Structure 1
């Protein structure tokens, strides 16, 4: 197929040629403000509007405050929606670009023939990060995608080919504020390509599929949001329509919604020793009207009681402190699940959860050191250098957190990568199998071993509780330093290798 280099669309910045040096930073719309709310573009271009009307009703219950409907024929539409009558795929894409350029908040794009659980839509539309993401499911019928390390790295449609696909795009795309300018440019460029007939047999139903492929080919980080037990499908008319609606009723949406509150990237302890039995606690907290911040406060209180118990230094109190510390971690997991379950997100809550996690851990270190030192005069470092060990453990954890945040910041800043001219006009070429790094199966021992070796918070809490309850604080600090040192070396080696 020929590979013409399309002219930049109206409002698009000229693209640098390969090797022309770093791409200029993309403009970022201002965050916040009254207008920085979620805007949804509903592509109701299929015959009949029953599915679109149902979908519009679901969007009202979520975070959507402005609904744009792109349709073929003007007619009655949901209240407070803005209607654009479009003549085909190029016009659909230009309508999406116009919405993206006019918005100061995130934008969601959904096909009008979508049949979905409301909780499935909430996985993207009520996500507190408000970043760019797409709903994906295991491989099946639909546009193929390849997911690596939680991100969509290749996306297909009737024009773009994906090698070694390990998932399916479910048609719901959410674009964060930082990527709106690029998103609008992608939509306009794809519209030009569709107008010129370069996109082959791409159809009106593939707007979201094409946009996802365009973002991925520009190396925009797109988080893959897994559906889990929830269902999202497309209505094709006739028996398939009835089957798609029937599938929704086959799933206990409440149970699936509760299961979806468990983060897929949690460690072994959080996944198997906490999340497996805390679902009823999440439901109870929701029924009692408790907020995630209230649960966070209770978690902090239990950690404080654990530190007081550890400070006594006697075996009975050490065992009590170990139990209280574990329960504090349980509530630390419950507050996050409660926030996702009730969709009660707030920047303050996220900051409190992260900040108090460190405070709780270091208060427990202090209690352990006090209990071990007792009233014995053993120099400024305490008996057996317990204070030096406590400070060393705190410093090591602080360094590990600094490495995590600095690496995440470096990844977030690395968004200025541009593609060669005509990249959106070329079908994806198959990549060598040896270069693929598909996420390992979560059920394999190697996956969990890699999760455990980095000593996440759940494993640290369990290590502290077991060593303090069975042995003493000195053993606890030595274990934290040994395992934490190994985890730091492992993390640094892996990230340096990945960066290179």
Structure 2
């Protein structure tokens, strides 16, 4: 539930009766949006309102929705504020007509102060429970600023509308560390009114919009990938409307999309031309449903941390199931190297997703620090990263241009990946589709990693040190209890060495420098060759475990957000190296990589979706323990059975933990 507060406005020329009716309408709208109660901060002056708001904030543990009583808006906008999916603070804003004149701007959807910015505040602010602690100090600072005649932000830039406590409170909240996300009006209408003529015009503007039709269109992401925008979102709202009428939940639609993807994978496995075409169609329809589940959630405002987590996990599982189907089908018709391509694709894509997650977190941290003036302004300065940031922002602002779409396509997002798979599977075969995914994925990885590294250096912030570092590194007891005692510095350097060691071993095996497929005890020559391979594995394993030497050091470097991706690469590549040396069947190593990927996506999805974190119990086997077991299994001559055992263990652990946490919502 949400506690709503109407903030009385002073200094306007509204007829008292009309102002009273408007306040009553807002009360009804706030109640319909889910407010448990609608209170009034109606002090005779701004300081009185601010003290009233601070008192209310101190006495509640619910989200607090502050709304100016002279706001005319579609009720669904207040509903959108009250039902923010991740439970974050959010403000109702609009883009200024001239692209200037506001006091805010957006950084990845988050609002930060800006002089003459492109975004203006519209008088409604939802504060998450975790941000209520900022209200008392911000209110006091606003009162002092007002008494001194200084004011900040919206108070000085819009003196006519400074008759409400919200205009005084928001700038001081932002200065105190609040970084709300933007809830933009877009196709709906909202404005503050000060005269009876403005009130009548605003009400007419609200009535002129078909609210339900606008909500359905607003359920589509405003900025999506090229393929999704033109081949899916152009008609998926019709499916969304049908699903809403049928009473389907977003999670139910997610489940349907999984069934379509599984059907596509099975068709790819059958590998006949009709089956490949059918698989391509099923994959496309599954992707449509994958878009519809999010649109349905936004349209019906049926959000939940579990739904967001499930959507992320299902997306990855569906894509990787398609890889497996393509590889199995290609092998079925006698095409070699399909499984190695599928294994390369799953390793590459998982590592890329880890970099996406942590680069996004880095951007959010930079926006938060920029809001309070500590660091993170990527637009300032003359370094390469700053120039790239300004160029990127300029391209992103030019929505629909060729450069805009090229920038979105080149990173190989999910829509383009699924479209490429579907088209090439239907026209060619599974091996061709997998090869294309790997080639484009490698190019996209090089492009994004290079540009993001330069930009992150210019941000001058760290992010991995702001969370439970050990949990997101996925350290096990071996690192936590023994290896990390060395307490070395440079965690990124050690993670890079850990990733490069098995990669070099894989190259050596492929070149024939390290023997593969050898058997212990099959004669003196075989024994020697197996011994050489075992030594190479042990050396690579020790280098991988070396990444734990810096586990206790601060992960606050500008590039340390790459550490989780480096550790994922090291573990996955070690599994591949063992498989190559010990002749583990490719489907077995793919299965192990599949469950490892789900385990690691679980960590990032909980963070991204505001989901309850896993229970505090520390893992016995982290990446370090699994790498050690891989080497031991290989040395004992049971690499295939060992990888299967690891896959079953990690899979059962992931499922058990997920079910337990979601049943209890993360509580003990």
TMscore range, shorter length: 0.7 to 0.9
Partner of 2:144: 192
1:296 aligns with 2:260: no
- Secondary structure, aligned partner of 1:348: helix
- Rounded to whole Å, the distance in 2 between the matches of 1:448 and 1:186 is 41
Look up the match of 2:408: 451
Please report how far the alpha carbon of residue 392 of structure 1 lies from its aligned counterpart in structure 2 after TM superposition.
0.8
**1:114 has 2:71 as partner:** yes
In structure 2, relative to structure 1, the CA distance for the partners of 1:481 and 1:374 (3 Å cut) is same
Pair 1:174–1:282, CA change in 2 (3 A): same
| 411-420 vs 361-370, which moves further | 411-420
| 8 A Cα contact 1:140 1:167, kept in partner | no
Alpha carbons of structure 1 residues 416 and 180: separation in structure 2 relative to 1, 3 Å: farther
Written as runs of structure 1 = structure 2, the 5 A alignment for 1:352-391 is 352-374=310-332, 376=334, 383-391=335-343
Cα 1:459–1:139 change in 2 (3 A) is same
Q: Which residue of 2 aligns with 1:272?
A: 230
The residue number in structure 2 matching 1:172 is 124
In the TM superposition, what are the counterparts of 1:68-467 in structure 2 within 5 Å?
68-71=39-42, 86-140=43-97, 143-154=102-113, 162-163=115-116, 165-199=117-151, 202=159, 204-218=162-176, 220-374=178-332, 376=334, 383-411=335-363, 415=368, 419=372, 437=393, 439-467=396-424
| 1:45 and 1:70 in contact (8 A); partners too | no
Contact persistence 2:280–2:423 (CA under 8 A): yes
Q: Report SS of the residue matched to 1:384.
A: coil
Give the Å deviation of 1:474: 1.3
Query: What is the CA distance between 1:288 and its match in structure 2?
Result: 1.1
- The alignment's C-alpha RMSD in Å is 2.6
Structure 2 equivalent of residue 425 of structure 1: none
Conservation of the 8 A alpha-carbon contact between 2:417 and 2:437 = yes
Name the structure with the higher helix share: 2
Distance 1:101 1:410 in 2: 31
1:478 matches 2:430:
no
CA distance, structure 1, for counterparts of residue 272 and residue 184 of structure 2: 47
Equivalent residue number for residue 28 of structure 1: none
Q: Is the CA contact (8 Å cut-off) linking 1:111 and 1:205 kept in structure 2?
A: no
Deviation at 1:310, TM superposition (A): 0.4
Cα distance in 2 for residues equivalent to 1:167 and 1:413: 21
Alignment length (residue pairs): 428
TM-score with structure 2 setting the length: 0.60
- Decide which of 58, 61, 65 is 2:36's aligned counterpart: 65
- Provide, for residues 8-62 of structure 1, a one-character-per-residue CA deviation record: whole Å limited to 9, x for no partner: xxxxxxxxxxxxxxxxxxxxxxxxxxxxx32222112345321111011011111
Deviation of 1:440 (Å) = 1.2
Cα distance in 1 for partners of 2:373, 2:283 equals 54
Q: Distance in 2 between matches of 1:375 and 1:140?
A: 60
Q: Measured at CA, do residues 246 and 94 of structure 1 come closer, stay the same or move farther in structure 2, by a change above 3 Å?
A: same
CA contact (8 A) 1:322 1:464 kept: yes
Deviation (angstroms), 1:359:
0.8
The structure with the larger Rg is: 2
Q: 1:338 to 1:442 in 2, by over 3 A?
A: same
Greater alpha carbon shift after TM alignment, 194-203 vs 92-101: 194-203
Work out the CA distance in 1 between the residues paired with 2:28 and 2:72. 12
Give the alignment of 1:8-87 within 5 angstroms.
37-46=1-10, 47=16, 48-71=19-42, 86-87=43-44
Report the CA distance shift for 1:70/1:143 in structure 2 as closer, same or farther (over 3 A): farther
Residue 294 of structure 1: how far off its partner (Å): 1.2
Distance between the aligned counterparts of 1:419 and 1:366, measured in 2? 48
User: How far apart in 1 are the matches of 2:5 and 2:32?
Assistant: 16
Residues 265 and 181 of structure 1, relative CA distance in 2, 3 Å threshold: farther
Conservation of the 8 A alpha-carbon contact between 1:44 and 1:52: no
Sort the Cα spacing of 1:497 and 1:123 in 2 relative to 1 into closer, same or farther, 3 A.
farther
Using the alignment, how far apart are the partners of 1:325 and 1:277 within structure 2?
Answer: 17
Shift of 1:98: 2.4
In the alignment, the residues of structure 1 paired with residue 349 and residue 164 of structure 2 have an alpha-carbon distance, to the nearest angstrom, of 47
Please identify, of 235-244 and 403-412, the stretch whose mean Cα deviation from structure 2 is larger. 403-412
Give the Å deviation of 1:417: 7.1
Quote the offset at 1:195 in angstroms.
Answer: 3.0
Any idea what the Cα deviations from partners look like across 1:258-316, whole Å, max 9, x if unmatched? 11101123211222211111122111111111111111111110001101100011111
Instruction: Provide the rounded CA distance (Å) in 2 between the counterparts of 1:419 and 1:311.
Output: 55
CA deviation string 1:214-241 (max 9, x = no partner): 3334453332222111000122222211
- Spell out, residue by residue over 1:144-198, the C-alpha distance to the aligned partner (whole angstroms, 9 max, x if none): 533344332325xxxxxx23x3233222222223332234322221122223333
In 1, the alpha carbon distance for the partners of 2:381 and 2:64 equals 34
Render the CA deviation track for 1:328-387: whole Å, top value 9, x for unaligned: 0000111111111111111211111111111111111111111100175xxxxxx42211
Preserved CA contact (<8 Å) 1:91 1:191? no
Partner of 1:83: none
User: CA 1:215–1:446 in structure 2 vs 1: closer, same or farther (change >3 Å)?
Assistant: farther
Q: Separation in 2 of the partners of 1:62 and 1:494?
A: 42
Quick one: distance in 2 between partners of 1:90 and 1:432? 39
- 2:436, 2:146 → 1: CA distance? 61
Instruction: Report if the CA contact (8 A) 2:102-2:118 is conserved.
Output: no
TM-score by length of 1: 0.79
Secondary structure of the corresponding residue to residue 197 of structure 1: coil
CA contact (8 A) 1:136 1:226 kept: yes
- Return the structure number with greater relative CO, CA threshold 8 A, min gap 6: 1
C-alpha distance in 2, partners of 1:420/1:112? 32
